[in-house]
């Protein structure tokens, strides 16, 4: 039927496939965690904010999953950020924290002596979720691997739930 050399070649190919299969490492990312059991009506909350004046970013929590809003392709009116967060919460996202730094014209302070920092800085919206959820990208967010850095964190709005 098959010659000896063809059988040996087929065995080598099969053996190679088995070796490659054992070397393969499967990487699985966590799936989104929206709780489908709760409806929008069950998840009502009111977010409000307080202004935090600081010179560094050490106050951001270490635990959780951070996302940044892409202001380059979409813009949120400052008056609507709390409503935007309310909508995300109603959709099932477990918001552990949110911070917004408005657009600023310059970044001058006693701690920054470099005149090259006197330029307009785009607004920053940071969202902290308690669970990883890749479906948040549909709302113009992207995940960051490390705790984000907010340049010139003067007058940052820290959002929290009203009880």
The domain of 104 spans: 40-162
Q: What digits encode the pLDDT tens for the residues 89-127?
A: 999 999 999 999 998 887 765 454 555 545 788 899 999
At residue 120, the pLDDT reads: 81
Q: What is the mean pLDDT of residues 15-39?
A: 53
The answer as to whether 30 is a domain residue is no
CA dihedral 72, 69, 100, 158 (to 10 degrees): 180
* pTM exceeding 0.75: no
The answer as to whether 15 is a domain residue is no
- Residue 29 DSSP label: P
Most trustworthy range by pLDDT among 13-17, 76-80, 91-95: 91-95
| Number of structural domains in the chain | 1
Q: Single out the residue of 122, 54, 61 nearest to residue 95, CA to CA.
A: 61
């Amino acid at each position: 039927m098959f010659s000896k050399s063809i059988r040996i070649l087929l065995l080598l190919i099969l053996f190679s496939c088995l070796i490659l299969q054992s070397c393969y490492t499967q990487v699985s990312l966590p799936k989104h965690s929206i709780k489908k059991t709760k409806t929008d009506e069950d998840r009502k909350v009111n977010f409000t904010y307080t202004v935090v004046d600081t010179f560094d970013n050490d106050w951001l929590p270490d635990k959780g999953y951070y996302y940044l809003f892409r202001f380059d392709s979409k813009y949120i009116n400052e008056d609507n950020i709390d409503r935007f967060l309310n909508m995300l919460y109603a959709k099932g996202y477990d918001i552990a924290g949110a911070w917004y730094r408005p657009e600023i014209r310059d970044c001058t302070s006693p701690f920054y002596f470099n005149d090259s920092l006197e330029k307009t800085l785009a607004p920053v919206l940071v969202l902290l979720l308690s669970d990883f959820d890749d479906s948040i990208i549909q709302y113009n967010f992207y995940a960051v691997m490390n705790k984000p850095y907010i340049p010139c964190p003067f007058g940052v709005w820290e959002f929290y739930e009203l009880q």
